[in-house]
Amino acid sequence: MINKIVRSVAEALEGVRDGSTILLGGFGAVGQPDTLLDGLIEQGARDLVIVANNAGAVDGYGLSKLIELGRVAKMICSFPRSSTSKAFENRYREGKIGLEIVPQGTLAERIRAAGAGIPAFYTPTAVGTLLAEGKPTLEIDGKLCVMEKALHGDVALVEAWQADRWGNLTFRDSARNFNPIMAMASALTIVQTQHLVELGELDPNAIVTPGIFVNRVVHVPYAAGAAQAA
């Protein structure tokens, strides 16, 4: 019997190694798996490369806390500024954290490409800007494009609305955001879910992420982070 459900957050995060690249779902605080982030803080892995749209939403909490603790070597993101969290910018100013800034659509597509087995792709986004400097370009049908490489994760941390023991997932409203594509792009996909349901309860037409992309599921009945929103 396939059973991807683990009993604790600690069990869910077992084996996450120092130096891992971690794809972190969410947009701002919505859809961000805060309980898994707390678990990662507890678990102790360091020198992490975190791939997420933002670089922390609330000081002393979640990703901001992980950054404050000096556990993040580098952020790969589209928008690291926040009016409610200064943790990233403070460390960035001190030269204590790396930053790769990526246009948001290119970030999403690099992650999608990783999940779909596409090593690189060409896009007109960012051509002629600072963010295309040093990257190969190619003119395709009269349009200048820049090459962008797939972005794989060692681990993805995902927040779902519903999950079953096979790891089939649904998402709630705009909390879907990066979660499904990150689940596809990582060697180890770890999910925190608001609701755990019996196999067969989910309408197959409503499943957004099928279990093939999921390794571990932990039930977090009330994700305070999502409810606090932005």
CB of 118 to other proteins, least distance (A): 12
Read off the DSSP letter of residue 99. Answer: E
- 191 bridge partner residues: 158, 217
Closest by alpha carbon to 143, among 167, 122, 172?
A: 122
Only one of the segments 4-12, 42-50, 124-132, 147-155 lies at the binding site for other proteins (rule: CB under 8 A); that segment is 124-132
Is residue 125 within the footprint of other proteins (CB under 8 A)?
yes
Q: Scanning residues 11 to 70, which ones bind other proteins (CB under 8 A)?
A: 27-28, 30-31, 53, 55
In the complex, least distance from residue 10 CB atom to other proteins, rounded to whole angstroms: 27
State the binding string over 139-168 for other proteins (x if CB under 8 A, else -): ------------------------------
Distance CA 185, CA 195 (A): 23
Residue at token pair 């360091």: 46
Q: Tell which residue, 102, 40, 47, 82, has the closest CA to residue 65.
A: 40
Which segment (40-48, 58-66, 128-136, 210-218) binds other proteins by CB under 8 A?
Answer: 128-136
Residues listed for the chain: 230
- The residue within the footprint of other proteins, chosen from 47, 135, 187, 228 (CB under 8 A), is 228
Which of 188, 219, 170 is CA-nearest to residue 16? 188
Helix, strand, coil shares, percent, the chain, to 5: 25, 30, 45
Please pick, from the candidates 68, 171, 192, 216, the single residue that binds other proteins as defined by CB under 8 A: 171
* Element holding 123 (H helix, E strand): strand 120-123
In terms of Cα–Cα distance, which of 174, 185, 169, 224 is closest to 31?
Answer: 174
Nearer to other proteins, 43 or 78 (CB): 78
Q: How many residues bind other proteins (CB under 8 A)?
A: 50
When binding is defined by CB under 8 A, the residue of 105, 138, 147, 201 that contacts other proteins is 105
Contacting residue, 19, 60, 128, 136, with other proteins by CB under 8 A: 128
How, if at all, do strands 137-140 and 143-149 pair? Answer: antiparallel
Residue 80 near other proteins by CB under 8 A: yes
Q: Indicate whether 88 belongs to the interface with other proteins (CB under 8 A).
A: yes
* Environment class of 130 (CB within 10 Å of its CB; exposed 0-12, middle 13-18, buried 19+): exposed
Find the binder of other proteins among 2, 10, 69, 99 (CB under 8 A). Answer: 99
Residues that bind other proteins (CB under 8 A): 27-28, 30-31, 53, 55, 78-81, 88-89, 92, 99, 101-106, 108-109, 111-112, 123-131, 171-181, 208, 226-230
